Structures are given as C-alpha cells and as structure tokens.
Amino acid sequence: MAARPMAMRNGESIPSSTRRWADAGANDIMTFLYKADLERGAEWGRLFAQKAPELPFHLWPYEGDPASVRYLAAWTPPEDIARRFPNLEILFSVGAGIDQFDMSGLPPELAVVRMTEPGIAAGMVQYVTHAVLGLHRDSRHYARQQQQQIWQARRVRPASACRIGVLGLGMLGRAVLQQLHGLGFPCAGWSRSPHQIDGVECHSGCDGLDHFLARSDVLICLLPLTDDTRGILCRALFAQLPRGATLINVGRGGHLVEDDLLAALQDGQLSAAVLDVCNTEPLPAGHPFWRRPDIVITPHVASMTQPDGAVDAVLENLRRHRAGMPLLGLIDRRRGY
C-alpha cells in the first residue's frame, strides 16, 4: 500500500498531534489557498500561522499538489476552478458580496460562503452615517460657501424630519438602521422576506416597495447584486420617492441605471447622491458623475474586510464544516446571495 503524503507546512512536516486538518483519507494535506490582494494575504498568512498553525496556508499562485486544496479564499477564483482543484470543498469570498463570482462555472456541490466578519458592518455603519449626516447637515453646501467666504446659515432640520429608507435588511442594512435609529432618524427597511426590527418600519416584497419608497427622504441601497436587483435604482423607482430625495448607493454599481440618476438629478426629483460603487470601477475619466456638484464619489471604500476578523470568521466556518454544522454566510445559489 502506498504511503500517504506527509502533511507539510512551509516545507516542514506537521507534527501528528497538531494535524487537526489532516485527516482527509484520500489525501492527508488540506491546504487553504488565498487568491486576492497579496498585501492583505500576507496578513492572513501571519494570522493563520498564529491561530491555526496546523493548517497549511498558501498564497496564490500555488505550486503544490492541486488535489490538496480544500479551501479557497478569493475575490475572483480561477476560471478553471473545478478542473484545477478537484477536491475543493469551500470557496470563501474575501468580501461580503459574491456577485463577482461566475456561479455557472462552479461545481454545484461546492459550498460558497460570503464574508461576514464584524469589521465589514462596523466600516459600513461609519460610512453610511457620515454620508447621511453630510446630506442632512448640508456639508457640501457649506464647503462651497467656505470657498467663497460666505457666512450664511441654513435652517437646521431635526433628524426626526429626515426619513431613512434602507434597501436590504441583511447583515449591513440592519447594522446601519440600528445606528441611524439611535441618532433619531425615522427608519424603514425593505427586504425580500418579512423582518421585524425594533424601531424600524419593515417592508418586504414587491407589494411593500411602494409605501417604503413614498416615505424615504434618504434612500440607501444595501442589496446584494442579483438578477432580481440589477438596475433596481432606476427612473421608475426614483419617481416614487418624495421630490428632492437623496440616494446613497453602497451596494453595487450594477444596482444603478446611471443615466436615470443623471436625469432625476437634472429635473430635481433627486437632490443629491453619494456613490461608493459604480458600474465601471475605477470610474472612467470624463464620466459625467465626476463633474456634478450634487454627486459625491468615493472609490469603493465604504467598508473593507479586516484580516483579523476575516481569519476568525473563516476558521469558525472550517470548525463548523468539520463538525457538520451549518456554515455562516453560506450562499443560497438559487437566490443568488
């Protein structure tokens, strides 16, 4: 009988006492492969070495035995993923979304998991709160006044007069609503299935959308990008908002019909927009969004996965996987999120 390959990490064999990950039977080595930003990957590597020294962790490209790769964390996986890694068990997205994955190229039995580490929600809460307060407290207006040395006050509206509506009541939408509710803004949210959140008016499904939009002075998009949500931020939707409403898009660029936003701003149906995501990223030079004083652009920075929390989230899911427990952030392929 052929000897099984020895589990190795950084060229050294792994002592059997710590080989918790190396009991796979057909192939002893259970490699974790990382294929995304290499600087952050190096941090993942250091954290894996501290928190799970027995698990072989490698950065892309991987020169070892592809059959040993059981787990892949990626922003964009290789196109030939199924052929290249025949024993892959879990594909982790390094981000909260998975719309960058071509699901049609993934084996049906492969578990696909999005990133749910708490730093993502913390960053998103900061960004959206800053954006809402900037709109509510006229930050852009006063910045322009300062350039012209104008000292002229606008009336300060109470938070209670500015109704917030969040599209998406998932990990991020709920966190954002909790914070904004605490600041005194009347809050509502919209999702596919019904939810109940203290202090938040919850709407769901197509039937619930009209009423939700009609009462949203600031509309915040925190939906995943799916076949159902692509292009949802369009002329017809804007027309249902109160006149002069504002938009904050922190979901994905594909949610927004860009020409419809320009038209809505032009005719006053919308008064301003904050866009962290765009259809084409980076936003091309000369794009009309750059020049508009009523649009704030940031380069997809609303929130970023923090390596420490990410490695904890991944290791918790590996523990669950090995214990046969449900994975956190597992994607439902039929729903697309």
Q: What residues are labeled active site?
A: 252, 300
Q: Is 252 in the site for ligand NDP (CB under 6 A)?
A: yes
How would you label 66-93 residue by residue, b for 16+ Cβ within 10 Å and e otherwise? eebbbbbbbeebeeebeeebeebbbbbb
Measured between alpha carbons, how far is 165 from 247 in angstroms, rounded to an integer? 10
Q: How far is the CB of 234 from ligand NDP (least distance, A)?
A: 14
Q: What residue is closest to ligand NDP based on CB?
A: 170
Q: Is 191 in the site for ligand NDP (CB under 6 A)?
A: yes
The residues with which 220 forms a beta bridge, in sequence order, are 166, 248
Q: Is 31 in the site for ligand NDP (CB under 6 A)?
A: no
Amino acid at 318: L
**Of residues 74-113, those binding ligand NDP (CB under 6 A):** 96-97
Amino acid at 169: L
Q: Is 250 in the site for ligand NDP (CB under 6 A)?
A: yes
Sign of the four-CA dihedral 104, 105, 107, 109: negative
Q: How far is the CB of 282 from ligand NDP (least distance, A)?
A: 14
Closest CB to ligand NDP among residues 165, 170: 170
Measured between alpha carbons, how far is 242 from 96 in angstroms, rounded to an integer? 31
Q: Which stretch binds ligand NDP (CB under 6 A): 62-70, 138-146, 169-177, 316-324?
A: 169-177
Q: Is 229 in the site for ligand NDP (CB under 6 A)?
A: yes
Closest CB to ligand NDP among residues 205, 284: 205
- DSSP characters for 198-250? TTEEEEEHHHHHHHHHHT-SEEEE-----TTTTT-BSHHHHHTSPTTEEEEE-
Residues that bind ligand NDP (CB under 6 A): 96-97, 120, 124, 168-173, 191-193, 222-226, 228-229, 250-252, 276-277, 300, 302-303, 337
